[in-house]
A = this chain, B = another copy of it.
Amino acid sequence: MTSGTVSSVSTNEIRVASAQVNTTVGDIDGNTQLIEKWIKLSQDQQAELVAFPELTITGYPPEDLVLYDNFITANRIALCRIAAKVENIVALVGFVDSEDGKLFNSAAVLHQGKIVTTYRKIHLPNYGVFDERRYFTPGDDCPIISINGIKVGINICEDIWEPIGPAEVQCASGAQIIINLNSSPYELGKHGHRVKIVSDLSRRHHVYTLYTNQIGGQDELVFDGGSMLVNPDGKLMGNSALFEESLLVADINTDPKKNSLFQQQNYRVSNKNLAQVGKSSTVEISTTKPQTKRSKLPRLSINRLGELEGVYRALIVGTRDYIKKTGFKKVAIAVSGGIDSALVTTIATDAIGAENVIGVALPSRYSSEGSITDARQLCSQLNVELWTIPIEPGHAAFEEMLNNAFKGTEPGLSEENIQSRVRGNLMMSIANKFNWLILSTGNKSEMATGYATLYGDMAGAYAVIKDVPKTLVYELCKHRNTQGPGSPIPQATIDKPPSAELRPDQLDEDSLPPYDQLDRIIHMYIEERLSPDLIIQKERNIGPGDDIDTIVRRIVQLIDNNEHKRRQAPPGVKITGLAFGRDRRLPIASGWQP
């Protein structure tokens, strides 16, 4: 990253690094090694300071692991061990601090073998996927570290999302640089929002802000990184590539002559409001400037991803890390020839390589010839091994076993589900036999409406696209085919009308409204939390339709009635503003009729 040329080092200048790393929750030893390695990398770049993501040592979110005393002890020992090795660099490392039985989401300032000071997060998010008030007590101190006279304020994630937080206190006390440690999960459109928050903060207070985020998947969450440096004008100077481990290194010159903005502290918060956040104190640190000259850094770059590519990368990283961090190597996927399993198989291949993916075609008496051809073409284009296991023997055996119990009843949903569950069983048998992980293929539209069979197509360890609405599934497939490598998803799979093929000539649209309408209704009910009345009003504005009232109420009822299925669904990557899972907690037994 450094070029050969050298520049003279001013006393107003500090070289900072942001280490965008991929930690693993609970893997304290592994995370410790990772931190030590990236401190070394930062030193190789002659950085005087390196910032890591929030809760670096424990991984984020550590959930109830932090309620175990021995976990907290191990995390503190790791911190001391890292500190002992830190030499002529200031390292900011996230860890769980504890005092009098209380826990704090903290950042330690490490220098010359010591923990110089710590910062305790003040604003603890407790909404959406976050449960920080379950574990942590807010801090009440807003320290500034003065590194050779350059004043740096440290805080953590949510702290800068609230109107008045530690950054305000630190800036009022003269901070020239704000460093914010994050574990901020990806969701569609969120990165732009983050840039705005950081930019507004910098401009408001005329300070540099270094924002460090982690990358990687953790159960339902995927962290996208995008660590950034913003200047006192609020201008984004550069950011790390999204979804990749990366070290951002930059020289910050705090000379007021070079940077007139430092002199203007025109944003004022009342002292009373500042006092409510916490008090400020300053800790002095002297580092030995590396030499009078050091290597010149290349220009920072600005990395962006289009929306579809962002979602696709989130799905890849979430899937890859779930497989890797649960200790698996290979996955198997039931490939139906339909669009959902085509997308999941392509994602899995992009995530862990075709040699680690096995497709299993499970045709029934109702499967069309086209489906089998499409499944075959997909796997051949991806170089994925395809097994074929016709399910007729199982299907017939269940009919035989249930013949007596079902005597005199009309065939219906129960009979349809049998096929799906025979497939689920076969996949689980294969998983158990070869120690592979099963990826299930249901999308968000199905998860919402319950258009999926519990223990059938819902069976699996990880539901890759459970937060991807069906219309977005199509867009992602087209995007991936256009983007390459190759165009793995058969055009026939994209073109044909979706069908579960559980009875002759069945089509999804026999039971559900068209997917564009369905996805709009789901979005309004789940993500925007609108009432059916409001949804009906909005749908009426979009287009004609006599039965919009009936359609909306039916979809809302389907969503409400299928909470019991979702509760037993495998986890999957959150990509929207509101995913099923930890993000949305609803009672199963409920008398609410919206």
Residues of A within 8 A of B (CB): 24-31, 59, 61-65, 67-71, 126-127, 131, 133-134, 217-219, 321-322, 325-326, 387, 389-391, 393-394, 396-398, 400-402, 404-406, 409, 412-415, 417-418, 421-422, 424-426, 428-430, 432-433, 454-455, 459, 461, 529, 531, 533-534, 564, 567-571, 584-592, 594
Given A67-B529, A588-B571, do A406 and B433 touch, yes or no (CB 8 Å)?
yes
Closest 10 CB pairs of A and B: A27-B591, A26-B592, A397-B397, A70-B531, A414-B432, A325-B589, A26-B590, A414-B433, A455-B455, A393-B397
Chain B neighbourhood of A390, CB < 8 A: 401
Given A134-B127, A529-B67, do A26 and B587 touch, yes or no (CB 8 Å)?
yes
B405 engages A428 (CB within 8 Å): no
A104 to chain B, nearest CB (A): 16
Chain B neighbourhood of A567, CB < 8 A: 570-571
Kindly name the residue among A325, A390, A590 whose own CB sees the greatest number of chain B CB atoms within 10 A: A590
A425 engages B591 (CB within 8 Å): no
15 example contacts (A-B, Cβ-Cβ < 8 A) are as follows A27-B590, A27-B591, A69-B531, A127-B134, A217-B589, A219-B589, A394-B397, A397-B397, A398-B426, A402-B429, A415-B429, A417-B432, A461-B564, A568-B570, A571-B588
A352–B320 Cα gap in the complex (Å)? 47
Chain B neighbourhood of A25, CB < 8 A: 587, 589-592
A367–B196 Cα gap in the complex (Å)? 65
B67 engages A587 (CB within 8 Å): no
B400 engages A393 (CB within 8 Å): yes
Chain B neighbourhood of A588, CB < 8 A: 219, 322, 326, 571
Chain B neighbourhood of A432, CB < 8 A: 413-414, 417
A218 engages B63 (CB within 8 Å): no
Given A131-B131, A584-B64, do A589 and B24 touch, yes or no (CB 8 Å)?
yes
B592 engages A326 (CB within 8 Å): no
A24 engages B391 (CB within 8 Å): no
Which of B325, B429, B531 is within 8 Å of A591, CB to CB?
B325
Which of B24, B219, B429 is within 8 Å of A398, CB to CB?
B429
B409 engages A433 (CB within 8 Å): yes
Which of B29, B406, B433, B589 is within 8 Å of A218, CB to CB?
B589
Which of B70, B387, B589 is within 8 Å of A405, CB to CB?
B387
